[in-house]
Amino acid sequence: MAKKLIEIDFSQPPEAHDCIHNRWHPDIPMYAWVKPGDDFVLECMDWTGGQINNNNSADDVRDVDLTKVHYLSGPIGVDGAEPGDLLVVDILDIGTLEQFQWGFNGIFARENGGGFLTEHYPDARKSIWDFNGIYTSSRHVPGVNFAGIMHPGLIGCLPSRELLNEWNKREGALIATDPERVPPLAAPPCAGTAHMGQLKGDKAKAAALEGARTVPPREHGGNCDIKDLTKGSRVFFPVYVKGAGLSMGDLHFSQGDGEITFCGAIEMAGWIHIRVSIIKDGVAKYAVKNPIFKPSPLQPNYQNHLIFEGISVDESGKQHYLDAHVSYRQACLNAIEYLKKFGYTGAQAYSILGTAPVQGHISGIVDIPNVCATLFLPTEIFNFNIDPCAEGPTKYIKDNDDVPVSYWADK
Amino acid sequence: MAKKLIEIDFSQPPEAHDCIHNRWHPDIPMYAWVKPGDDFVLECMDWTGGQINNNNSADDVRDVDLTKVHYLSGPIGVDGAEPGDLLVVDILDIGTLEQFQWGFNGIFARENGGGFLTEHYPDARKSIWDFNGIYTSSRHVPGVNFAGIMHPGLIGCLPSRELLNEWNKREGALIATDPERVPPLAAPPCAGTAHMGQLKGDKAKAAALEGARTVPPREHGGNCDIKDLTKGSRVFFPVYVKGAGLSMGDLHFSQGDGEITFCGAIEMAGWIHIRVSIIKDGVAKYAVKNPIFKPSPLQPNYQNHLIFEGISVDESGKQHYLDAHVSYRQACLNAIEYLKKFGYTGAQAYSILGTAPVQGHISGIVDIPNVCATLFLPTEIFNFNIDPCAEGPTKYIKDNDDVPVSYWADK
Amino acid sequence: MAKKLIEIDFSQPPEAHDCIHNRWHPDIPMYAWVKPGDDFVLECMDWTGGQINNNNSADDVRDVDLTKVHYLSGPIGVDGAEPGDLLVVDILDIGTLEQFQWGFNGIFARENGGGFLTEHYPDARKSIWDFNGIYTSSRHVPGVNFAGIMHPGLIGCLPSRELLNEWNKREGALIATDPERVPPLAAPPCAGTAHMGQLKGDKAKAAALEGARTVPPREHGGNCDIKDLTKGSRVFFPVYVKGAGLSMGDLHFSQGDGEITFCGAIEMAGWIHIRVSIIKDGVAKYAVKNPIFKPSPLQPNYQNHLIFEGISVDESGKQHYLDAHVSYRQACLNAIEYLKKFGYTGAQAYSILGTAPVQGHISGIVDIPNVCATLFLPTEIFNFNIDPCAEGPTKYIKDNDDVPVSYWADK
Amino acid sequence: MAKKLIEIDFSQPPEAHDCIHNRWHPDIPMYAWVKPGDDFVLECMDWTGGQINNNNSADDVRDVDLTKVHYLSGPIGVDGAEPGDLLVVDILDIGTLEQFQWGFNGIFARENGGGFLTEHYPDARKSIWDFNGIYTSSRHVPGVNFAGIMHPGLIGCLPSRELLNEWNKREGALIATDPERVPPLAAPPCAGTAHMGQLKGDKAKAAALEGARTVPPREHGGNCDIKDLTKGSRVFFPVYVKGAGLSMGDLHFSQGDGEITFCGAIEMAGWIHIRVSIIKDGVAKYAVKNPIFKPSPLQPNYQNHLIFEGISVDESGKQHYLDAHVSYRQACLNAIEYLKKFGYTGAQAYSILGTAPVQGHISGIVDIPNVCATLFLPTEIFNFNIDPCAEGPTKYIKDNDDVPVSYWADK
């Protein structure tokens, strides 16, 4: 195994680690420096920093403090990297940790972040997924077993001060259009729970006041949650500060396109093995604004799908204008209703769409007023046949307990 | 070859054909009846009914009458099909016609429909694509050659009167929010250019006043423009009227996810060979709202991609809230800027994204305020290497003529 | 469609066509000439020239005259092609003919060619396969339906005189080791049934005496029966005579690796659309001895397989030394015995292995004394689940008639 | 991670381990017992038990003692498994060891086992392959980098006494046909270097006299060297003794079909994580003679190939009769000559074919007298373009040192 550049003490909280940070800010010092061509391993906490446990209660998902996330490992400085370069990152491998042979999928309470279908599934829920080598299955979601596509949900370089200012400005302007909204329109800086890595004292406090939250994907990559970014991929990141400052975390064992359950994929602690190199002045050479990447030759090859469609008419029958968000939600709801015919509860079906390698495509986006979004559900992940047939569906899932739920009111 | 149920006389306009219609209405009589288990062939005009020619002028694309489209072949009645059933359609094969070994891709003028990137490419443009067996290439877009995924852009069953009323009501309500908008928010009924198949006289006139335009995808399928719905696929359509009334058209030789150029894919005349059967009461059995389908084992297997990301921040830097439309537009624009580094004009790159089998994924849709949309561009379709490298891009495309353009002002 | 260079009158026998020949000889005149870069279409008879009919009797398979085959369309001369060049052939498309929407698979009688498993299946048998667009199924082999990989079983350039002499010499030497063997060790020239295209009279008679039979694959390609050589492929053929002289035929709708039933694949009449170009001096540049090729991006993507193994111990328990032939035969027999548990007869299972896109791999070939050969059987081609399970197999195929058989003794 | 059932002390020789054996014999006691449904991890030495080192000398490959191999971990007893059952083995994962981030590929000297092309490459050679996450590359074979398909080259259950007797009888009969041959026709029992696991003393000595060597694949599986048997696969093994007695080893990081270099693939030490279950009476239920298996959804998806053909005419021009061995050898030699045009030495090209995921197909096996064998070489594993083009090949590999060689004469 390559040199382990970051090692986590999982008996300690993330805040006890200088190799971890949970905000984006150019002043966070490089935790370690490497040279172009080096390969190395980083350990990562799960995105919540250990707030979620392997048990049958969703209380921890209900009560999670979302101002703390995501806990990232880094930043790593790369000798010679300068603003305007492209940092080439080969994701050579990703793995689980011996002591954490499980991950979690959660649906946040509507009052605490919610999820893509929060109007339909407003309560906090949790499913635990056991890892069996390349496969995963869950005691809370019977009848499915699939090979994961492990990937970092979050990876990117430190922003420059200018870029950080732009983020804060534009997101602040959005929040200002409806500042009392629950959930909020965006996640503004939140100094209280900021953990700035090696940056300490007054400098840390100052940076925390403006440090960008890690929630959204942005120009630098960040929380892209691209399920295909697995071991074997090569990513080209824009560099904004001297040394690049690469950080990553939010490892997923598997995720469906959209990460619709928000909490999200099958979330896990683990390690990632990468190699870095540099394309000098690559941003201008290739007109790169957001990261670009090449996928891996090694991804689960599920070929048999059922494809569900959704259009820009919402559940109430209201017509929207070319709204891909509404369309993809309809495709998801259609798939869930279909799966319920085989015995799943809605929350279980929702969890499947959040965790299994489903694809979400924008199939048609110009035919006014309806976007056609499609959800590709791999049928090979089920232990039974879910294809439509003349006889109608068989209720294979029987007497099953639902995904654990915790109600906000009980808090 | 199976029985040819619909044969087109391409020397005559679509309006001269009783086997063609361009509106959705329950009163349109079945042009022919078949039995469950039958397979048969339908010929189809291109979606514009022959308005576009194989030449180097974009005038026809600029001047196209969009109230006439789409010209569909059908409806076909299926014995025994009743509302609430699922009509199972096996797309056994799709082909080109000997006299039409070419297709077209157009970008509409902003004043006449526009396209996904109409703010950037506001003028009417056209590229002609020659068919070479399974491959296509264009004299207007050098350097690419790819295998098509032929599919019907538009296919579905006749709506019931209730469903038709619902469509008109909800789309009318949307239009009413901004009735003077150019382009309009939706396409309302337009009696003047309606062609109602075998329905004639006063009945046809009455139906034309309320017949739904074929532009958007809706519950019955319709203009879904799903690039993966190719020969070898099986589709399950909801049935709304006695006999189902299956119609189809808008054949594409190939299309990218989103059909972003609007006109759209590589549009073609051709034929389609299908088999039909019925799942009695399938709508309720499987909780089907929109059609569902199983893809074909036979699709071009391009595995090497460059993946571009886009987020919900528009070109002006403005932050939007979880707007997948904005995100996918950014991913497309990022890909276009990248391709320009290899010598393509923006319009050529735009055409490639509209025609080649690019995938558009909703990768992350819950990380406020940014959706992460990804565009998968297959690199094998290029005659040269477009991967990033340390030396920077080579301008392979030189001295090329751009895609033909016609200006609205010259009309 | 491209120019049709060779058109067959299927009401006439192959011998009535100057565009057809059934021997390899450098003196056969080019039937037509094309230029590098041209694309064109050739029609082809089935390999037997119409000896087999679409019915339920295997008499025609039993009685077929194998000295007549294969009937090839060509030769085509390419301007500028010279010995030592590589002829680049793009197989742009392959298709069936409207009047022949069926093909046949036969097992020859042991007394007339036999097949790979002739000791076990010594009688003549025939199954008819109907074409349904991209799919095929057979009234003689229930329970399977699959997408074909259409390809020319036989394609190559005319040999030079030197190469022809070498073929005759080496094959004659083999025959001489056991000249009375039935079946013979190789197929020597046979003047009586030779058809030499445009070559007539004494010249034809002289050439027929030494014209190479088309049965085996040789340096020029020829009867390679490579199931993957489908539309979308590019082949590089060595050129031996001025103009190259490209001929082809023996079209298959689908074939399993090995073409183990000998007659063989799903044999069909049809057409093939190709484009030709030249790499000057390519044989030396690339050290080409046998043709090389690049497969198509468009092939049925069956991913779920059951894999059967075979080793170099024959059915009697005798140990052979690194004999891949014996090993692959065992893998085939193992698969057949397995399929019989689901209700198939042995002959039906044998036909499936001959026609469906099964893969035959040489997995290990150095571990004395056993080669490990593997047969990959796609499970998706069956209408039922053939995976092993704890309950044991279900006999899905019931009361089925076997593949039609005709006994040699009844001849 | 699951329970580690077998742990190796790599500072000790294999003979110091009771959990290791290198012969097949029914009297070898189960090293450990598990229950159906259990999953567990086994560590494995490389097949030579540590005879080969990570350096630039091929002396160790030249001098290897082949009577010692293969060192297997096991046997594992499964409660309730009885003769006639099928043992279902899920290969959940396979991995490398932190201290062994490299593997080796060797070509044995002609005098010591040789290889598939020993007439052409008679000397001992070795290449070292470094592991970089999912990828591997070699300082001895420049220009290639590929994702491995890790698999156990050898896995199977203990034979019954009857089966063992049959092996010894039939292999002895083969050896008796040419007992002085070098290399021998098969590997007979060899008591001197036998290591019988927990079996000790006189019983071990007696068993060693008849214990089957591990070299060939046999009915029970054994040394199948099937490159596709990777993590995610499910195998069905015949059971011959009470408890089954599953053993495995000879782990490969990657291998080409045929394992033509004999030593062989990229050989490695590592661990394997499996789960076992039982199908009672499965051998009869499914007519299983040799193991059958289902491949993994997770295998490198290389789609672009160059395909080389070979026929049953050997290098001297001699015609053989339907000899797949000769044909595959020609396909390999053709590929090697091709690769030499890009600058590789023959030994380097040979090593690529032995290690990279090349496919070896039996394409046609009935067209007397030539078998057509095909070798599929994935082009994506090269750092440069190896497709043929009009300009001819570029010699990308320059001034490279060849694979280390050691001559027998220097021994």
Strands A39-44 and A4-6, by their bridges, are parallel
Q: How confident is the model at residue A264 (pLDDT cuts 50, 70, 90)?
A: confident
Residue D1 pLDDT? 62
Bridge partner residues of C319 (DSSP): C313
DSSP SS3 for D207 = helix
Intra-chain end-to-end CA distance of chain B, in Å: 45
Give the residue carrying structure tokens 């290449």.
D127
pTM: 0.96
C141 contacts: CB under 8 Å, gap ≥ 6: C127, C344, C348, C351, C352, C355, C403
Q: Is the pLDDT of residue A36 over 70?
A: yes
pLDDT digits (tens, 9 = 90+) for D169-212: 999 999 999 999 988 999 999 999 999 999 999 999 999 999 99
Q: Is the pLDDT of residue C1 over 80?
A: no
d(CA D323, CA D397): 34
d(CA B229, CA B216): 17
- D228: distance to nearest CA of chain B, Å? 19
pLDDT digits (tens, 9 = 90+) for C144-176: 999 999 999 999 999 999 999 999 999 999 999
Residue D240 pLDDT? 98
pLDDT digits (tens, 9 = 90+) for C12-49: 999 999 999 999 999 999 999 999 999 999 999 999 99
CB C278 within 8 A of CB C81: yes
Q: How confident is the model at residue A113 (pLDDT cuts 50, 70, 90)?
A: confident
Any chains having at least 3 CB pairs less than 8 A from chain B are: A, C, D
Q: Is the pLDDT of residue D401 over 90?
A: no
Q: Is the pLDDT of residue C132 over 70?
A: yes
- Amino acid letter at D207? A
Chain B residues lying within 8 Å of D303, measured CB to CB: 301-304
Torsion of the alpha carbons at A380, A382, A387 and A391, rounded to the nearest 10:
150
Residue C183 pLDDT? 82
Mean pLDDT of the C383-387 span = 95
Residue B399 pLDDT? 80
Segments making up each domain of chain B, as ranges:
3-294, 305-410
Q: How confident is the model at residue C213 (pLDDT cuts 50, 70, 90)?
A: very high
- pLDDT above 90: percentage of residues in chain C: 95
Among B59, B243, B227, B232, which Cα is nearest to B157's? B243
Residue B1 pLDDT? 62
Cβ-nearest to A132 among D39, D300, D301: D39
Q: Is the pLDDT of residue A391 over 80?
A: yes
Determine whether the interchain pair B385/D385 forms a contact, defined as Cβ–Cβ distance below 8 Å: yes
Determine whether the interchain pair A334/B288 forms a contact, defined as Cβ–Cβ distance below 8 Å: yes
Give me the numbers of helices (H) and strands (E) for chain C, helices first please: 6, 22
Residue B264 pLDDT? 84
Complex-level ipTM: 0.96
d(CA A250, CA A155): 8
Chain D residues lying within 8 Å of C165, measured CB to CB: none
Determine whether the interchain pair B218/A369 forms a contact, defined as Cβ–Cβ distance below 8 Å: no
DSSP SS3 for C62 = helix
Q: How confident is the model at residue A2 (pLDDT cuts 50, 70, 90)?
A: confident
Residue A411 pLDDT? 84
Mean pLDDT of the D336-354 span = 97
Residues of D at the A interface, defined by Cβ within 8 angstroms: 1-2, 39, 91-93, 98, 101, 132-135, 147, 231-232, 273, 275, 296-302, 380
CB B188 within 8 A of CB A339: no
Cβ-nearest to C309 among D173, D291, D392: D291
Task: Find which of B146, B299, B303, B386 to mutate to test the D interface (most D CBs within 10 Å of its CB).
Answer: B303
**Pair of tokens at residue B19:** 């086997």
Q: How confident is the model at residue A1 (pLDDT cuts 50, 70, 90)?
A: low
CATH, domain D3-294, list 2.60.120.480, 1.10.580.10, 1.10.287.950, 2.60.120.580: 2.60.120.580
Any chains having at least 3 CB pairs less than 8 A from chain D are: A, B, C
d(CA B345, CA C279): 32
Dihedral of CA A215/A217/A222/A228: which sign?
A: positive
Q: Angle between the C346-355 and C324-340 helix axes, to the nearest 10 degrees? A: 120
Mean pLDDT of the D62-80 span = 97
Determine whether the interchain pair D232/A133 forms a contact, defined as Cβ–Cβ distance below 8 Å: yes
Chain C residues lying within 8 Å of A304, measured CB to CB: 303-304, 380
CB C330 within 8 A of CB C370: no
Residue A401 pLDDT? 85
Bridge partner residues of C102 (DSSP): C130
Residue A110 pLDDT? 92
Cβ-nearest to C232 among B2, B134, B232: B134
pLDDT digits (tens, 9 = 90+) for A348-387: 999 999 999 999 999 999 999 999 999 999 999 999 999 9
Chain D residues lying within 8 Å of A93, measured CB to CB: 133-134
- B134: distance to nearest CA of chain A, Å? 22
CATH superfamily of A4-294: Acetamidase/Formamidase-like domains (2.60.120.580)
**What are the C-alpha distances in Å from A172 to residues A216, B185, D199?**
13, 30, 75
Chain C residues lying within 8 Å of B301, measured CB to CB: 297-299, 301
Mean pLDDT of the D347-369 span = 96
Q: Is the pLDDT of residue D331 over 70?
A: yes
pLDDT digits (tens, 9 = 90+) for B174-201: 999 999 998 889 999 999 999 999 999 9
The pLDDT mean for chain B works out to 96
Cβ-nearest to D313 among C170, C228, C361: C170
Cβ-nearest to C133 among B92, B101, B297: B92
Residue D344 pLDDT? 97
Mean pLDDT of the C199-220 span = 97
The pLDDT mean for chain C works out to 96
- A149: distance to nearest CA of chain B, Å? 14
Cβ-nearest to B231 among C134, C275, C380: C134
The pLDDT mean for chain A works out to 96
A303 contacts: CB under 8 Å, gap ≥ 6: A380, B297, C301, C302, C303, C304
